[in-house]
Amino acid sequence: MKPTVKEITGKYFPELAVDSAIVCSCNGGHYYCLQCSICRAEDPHPELRNFDPKTIGNYMDHTNLKPDVLTEDIYNLCREAVDYRFFSVCVNPSLIMVCKKNLIGSSVKVCSVISFPLGATITASKIEETHQAINMGANELDMVINISHLKERRIKQMIDEIESIAQVCHDQKVKLKCIIETCLLCYEEKVLAALIIKKAGADFVKTSTGFSKSGAKVEDVRLLRMVVGSKFGVKASGGIKNLSQAIDLVSAGASRIGSSSSVGIVSEIE
């Protein structure tokens, strides 16, 4: 039998699970208050349960992270994002300024990636990359966590890294999503990753890069949503090709969808 989220929390954060433990008020499955860097207990509940499939475009990070992408491809990406009213475009850092220029006057945000797709760069490099991406105009950043550190249970090191990058982001009102690459993790590691990311003060936990063995799965999104509660972001990405998949993932708890097939997805809506 799998351990509960509460049991995993007590295992890795025993200092929180004592007789005088404070019960969390943010409805996270961890039960014990994580004493997060940013408390979301007073945040409003997002309307996840009232999802209308016709609004799926509002959830979309319209994505092109291919290594051989051309500038013309990014022009098209931006044009499509404006035409279909997607939430953002998601591109590699070298293309942030191209997007900013092409999205002037629109509500479409620019999202970029940090330490992508492996997450194995040193913290100082991630911080510098974050500074540069923000200076170029990124509104949101998707950073890959150090998966080796997670597997070796270097929890403090992970929290310190995410906290430092989240601080850089929040100082400039930029949101931070942390990619955990669910296809490489066991059940306990998925739960632990979500706990660490929430405690460290990021804004979203994200399933996948789309560059590994597989992408977003409904059961993983449902698990992550249960761990973090309703007041924290969950982004599903990787292998999302059609409207049915997107609807299933949002219904499972995703508050954002990352896909390079966004236009095809919304075009299925009658």
For the annotated catalytic residues, the residue numbers are: 142, 206, 235
Helix (H) or strand (E) holding 200: helix 187-200
Which candidate, 259, 214, 207, places its Cα nearest to that of 228? 207
- Identify any residues that bridge with 234 across adjacent strands, giving them in sequence order: 205
Tokens 């620019």 correspond to 110
Tell me how crowded residue 171 is: count the other CB atoms within 10 A of its CB.
9
Degrees (nearest 5) of the Cα angle 51, 105, 177?
A: 50
The burial of 9, by beta-carbon neighbours within 10 Å (0-12 exposed, 13-18 middle, 19 or more buried), is given as: buried
